[in-house]
Homo-oligomer: A and B are copies of this chain.
Amino acid sequence: MNYQTILQEIHTEILPLLGEGKVADYIPALAKADPSDFAMSITCNDGRVYSVGASEQRFSIQSISKVYGFTLALKAYRDKLYKRVWREPSGDPFNSLVQLEYEEGIPRNPFINAGAIVISDTLISKHKENSLNEVLTLIQESAEMEDVSISEEVFTSEMDHSFRNRSLANLMKSFGNLDNDVQSVLEHYFAQCSVMMNTQELSRSMLYLAHDGTDPISKKTFLTPPQAKRINAVMLTCGHYDASGDFAFRVGLPGKSGVGGGIVAVVPRVMSIAVYSPALNAQGNSLVGTKALELFTTKTGLSIF
């Protein structure tokens, strides 16, 4: 199969959709994104790389960073992690407090905000003041980037508009499910959200999830095979907030989206994919990005189902 041709077909087919959806505007740093931007990259387990669009343009990875946090926490705590965060779909929007209150401060999964905040807390407990560095190192090593940077503008903007996440964090703290102080935990969380990457780097970075926890190119091992599979499983059932079922239904791949417009997806044993387009659909996921991935699995048959 000629993946480059397929990417170009997809690029052509999504062009008419580029005006639809709405760029995230809750912080100015995101609102400035150009809704007509688009990029898509594939990195195969055998090292081949294909890209289309602005695949070198970096954007803030936002919730995609939750995959890295989950990876490090799973490595550090193994199954003990699930005492503090579950792995069930939430059936609710990504930042709902309702379920969190009924379930006494235990978030449904690591991919809703509450879950990622707890994950951040566990990383601080484990790595102290190096917790953020651990995330940046994982990103740098898995993507083989020379260096990884954080957008100060995005970070500051997020901190200034963090009331709802602060509400979630304080609620969990009141239930005893945060060990560190709320401010430190939120700083770690928003810093990892503010990491800047492009689709080439993202698709390269996620390859360890397509290859049982070990990067097939660098041979570095980030997780055990069962751990990698389980992150894929949780991405499939929970990776897109309350549109997770729809994404599984339409795309049929484990994936994780970010409000910055990026989505990553994994074809187990074959490849990793990253796509970028900042205008979001009603559920807060990249509208064109979701469509591009749907076209990709339809054209290639590379769904897991």
Known contacts A98-B102, A171-B164, A174-B167, A245 near B91 by CB under 8 Å: no
In the complex, residue of chain B having the shortest beta-carbon distance to the beta carbon of A228: B305
> By the criterion of a CB under 8 Å from any partner CB, how many residues of chain A are at the interface?
50
Bound complex: CA A177 to CA B262 (Å): 32
- Chain A residues numbered 158-174 whose CB sits less than 8 Å from any CB in chain B: 163-164, 166-171, 173-174
In the complex, residue of chain B having the shortest beta-carbon distance to the beta carbon of A92: B91
A243 adjacent to chain B (CB < 8 Å): yes
A236 touches B254 (CB 8 A): no
Query: Could you list some 23 contacts between A and B, CB below 8 A?
Result: A86-B245, A88-B89, A88-B244, A88-B245, A89-B245, A91-B108, A97-B101, A98-B102, A163-B170, A163-B171, A166-B166, A167-B174, A170-B170, A229-B252, A229-B305, A230-B249, A230-B305, A232-B305, A233-B249, A234-B249, A236-B248, A236-B305, A238-B245
Bound complex: CA A230 to CA B245 (Å): 10
Question: Copy number in this complex?
Answer: 4
Q: What's the nearest-Cβ distance from chain B to residue A30, in Å? A: 16
A180 adjacent to chain B (CB < 8 Å): no
A237 touches B244 (CB 8 A): yes
Bound complex: CA A237 to CA B96 (Å): 20
A residues sitting closer than 8 Å to B (CB atoms) are 86-92, 96-99, 101-102, 108-109, 163-164, 166-171, 173-174, 182, 226, 228-230, 232-234, 236-238, 242-246, 248-249, 252, 254, 268, 298, 303-305
A237 touches B229 (CB 8 A): no
Bound complex: CA A232 to CA B236 (Å): 12
Bound complex: CA A248 to CA B182 (Å): 32
Bound complex: CA A173 to CA B170 (Å): 14
